[in-house]
Chain A
Amino acid sequence: MTSTNVSSKSNFYFKSFKKERLMLWELIRINSKTYTRKLISIILFFLLWEFLCWIDFNFIINFVFVPTPVEVINAFIQFINDSPWVHFKASILRVIGGFISGSILGIFVGLLIGSSKILEDLLATPLELLRPIPAVAWIPLAILMFPDAESGMYYITFVGAFYPILISTQKAVENSLSDRLMIRVGQSLGANSFQLFKDIIVPSSLPGISAGLVIGMGNAWFCLVTAEIIAGRFGIGYKTWESYVISEYPPIVMGMVLIGLMGAFSSFIVLKITDSFMPWRTISKDGI
């Protein structure tokens, strides 16, 4: 092979990165129309909401008691002026605590029951029986089982995060084990069982585990209101629940919107972090 040949090939290799960046820019330019449309759709959504409240719409769905967007924004401004940080901090800590403990345990148990038949037989049935129990149903037991309200709340966000991570990890490992080719590659290069697990099974399960983590993060937020019913004085979920109890409607919707936003944002962060562990993947959805 001549040297010019090699260098032209390596040029091509670097060009492909450049090309990607160019494509991203073009994508934004082409999609600017789409973004405008999306913005218009959000504005229309709020206008429709405002309109339905304004005419006191009442056919099957009753808008008479629904707070208007303006009222929700006012509630938000009041909330911001009224030391919101304690609420954010309390909720974020509960979600992250539940998520991290759920991730560690979910991935660990998932790897075990995904790769061992004996452990699956021993562990899977009780876990499966507990899985359909909704977070709300755990409240009394959480109060009874844990020394204080705070740890009970961690437990409920944990339950939300744990199961999707567990199931995704288990299924991802089973899927990796069905890929005989990669296992044979490892074996023929001299990998023992532990090395096969570490170098082949776990990396090939990462995309599945990542999906579980993203769903788990969303679920932890999902369970936040439930968790914060157990008392406490702080938290976004607590705020939402308290407003319901005292029949103050705009802060309820505000709490819902805040939880939705923070849930979506934290899932996005989890997605980005897990993607950075999988630099080998190139995903193209252009030509399915």
Chain B
Amino acid sequence: MGFDMIKKSKIEENYVLVDNVIKTFKTNNKKKIILSNVNFQISKGEFTCILGPSGCGKSTLLDLLAGFTKPDEGLISVSDEVVRKPGPERGFVFQKNSLIPWQTLEQNVGYGLKLQKFNSKDIEEKVTKYLKLVGLEKYRKAYPNQLSGGMQQRGSIIRALITNPKIILMDEPFGAVDAQTRSLLQEMLLKIWREFETTVVFVTHDVDEAILLADRVIIMGVNPGHIREIIPINIPRPRSLDSSFLEEFQKVKIKILNLIKEETLKLMQ
């Protein structure tokens, strides 16, 4: 009883709570620990990036936050609710090709609202508003395979945003687009984040991207996956590509690169 009370107050105190999470996968009847004792909290409106070498379990952690998989032990909650299954209250932006191929762009963007039984006029209005936000209103009738990778990701972002979620979870959303498009998308994302004051958890392997976007960067370690360090980024906002010339940016970048290098070397031993 007392234990539950402590849990409850913890959930109420923190907007996003990841509390003593352990995640294992079974391969050939052997349990492999993917994440061990992961703990962190995120406050409302914060932009958090998760960085780490491949295989550190950062995507697994994001899947847990989304509710696609369940932790073996521990607790995850977002905005006073324990995460049990995926849902529109936690928007998810996938790495690539996640627009539904048989739906046009506007059907894709409005799909979440349609599932919530909004009437078609409201859907139409909202979809138009969000398409304009990312400059895609001309392409509303296009199918995903007629759109470039960057356009698809923009569509994917507003599709997650339109249901007014408590948090947006992004799994390397710009990893598959070219460098020029990527920096445009990053600035667009920052603009949207400022405007909507959403909470974002963003998984990436690009250090520059993490520093440019985040309030805090969570560095993950390997063998098994754990949190190595949480680094606050104190670069003034609004940030742009120019921010990467600041001394603070370079300092923090070197610090992060060294941490990741250490972890990557551990993988090779």
Chain A interfacial positions (CB closer than 8 Å to B):
1, 6, 9-10, 13, 16, 181-182, 184-191, 195, 199-200, 203-204, 206, 278-280, 282
Contact = CB atoms under 8 A, between A and B. Distances in A.
Contacts of A182: 100
Nearest to A16: B146
B141 to A, nearest CB: 9
Contacts of B66: 188
Given A190-B112, A280-B145, A203 B88 contact: no
Contacts of A184: 68, 86, 92, 94
Given A200-B100, A203-B102, A280-B103, 17 more contacts: A1-B135, A6-B135, A185-B92, A187-B68, A187-B85, A187-B86, A187-B87, A188-B88, A188-B91, A188-B92, A189-B112, A189-B163, A190-B115, A190-B116, A278-B102, A279-B143, A280-B144
B254 interface: no
Given A184-B86, A190-B163, A203-B102, A9 B138 contact: yes
19 contacts: A6-B135, A13-B142, A16-B146, A186-B100, A187-B86, A188-B87, A188-B90, A188-B92, A189-B115, A189-B159, A190-B115, A190-B116, A191-B115, A195-B115, A199-B100, A280-B103, A280-B144, A282-B145, A282-B146
Nearest to A203: B102
A13 B115 contact: no
B250 interface: no
B38 to A, nearest CB: 21
Chain A interface, DSSP helix/strand/loop, else mixed: helix
Interface string B99-119: 011110000000110011000
Given A187-B86, A189-B88, A190-B163, A280 B102 contact: yes
Contacts of A191: 115
A157 to B, nearest CB: 31
A144 B255 CA distance: 84
A189 B144 CA distance: 17
A19 B111 CA distance: 31
B97 interface: yes
B139 A13 contact: yes
B120 interface: no
Interface of B: 66, 68, 85-88, 90-92, 94, 97-98, 100-103, 111-112, 115-116, 135, 138-139, 142-146, 159-160, 163
A186 B159 CA distance: 11
Contacts, number: 68
A208 B245 CA distance: 54
Q: Pick the most buried of A1, A189, A280: most chain B CB atoms within 10 A of its CB.
A: A189
B247 to A, nearest CB: 32
Contacts of A282: 145-146
A154 B142 CA distance: 43
A280 B102 CA distance: 5
Contacts of A187: 68, 85-87
Given A181-B97, A184-B86, A189 B111 contact: yes
Nearest to B96: A181
Nearest to B143: A280
A112 to B, nearest CB: 22
Nearest to B141: A13
B86 A13 contact: no
B95 to A, nearest CB: 9
Contacts of A279: 143
B111 A6 contact: no
Contacts of B90: 188
B138 A13 contact: yes
Contacts of A9: 138
A188 B93 CA distance: 9
B135 to A, nearest CB: 5
A224 to B, nearest CB: 35
Nearest to B159: A189
A184 to B, nearest CB: 6
A276 to B, nearest CB: 13
Contacts of B100: 182, 185-186, 199-200
Contact of A13 (B88, B146, B159, B163): B146
Contacts of B116: 190
A13 B94 CA distance: 25
A188 B112 CA distance: 9
Contacts of B146: 13, 16, 282
A13 to B, nearest CB: 7
A282 B147 CA distance: 13
B122 to A, nearest CB: 16
B31 to A, nearest CB: 22
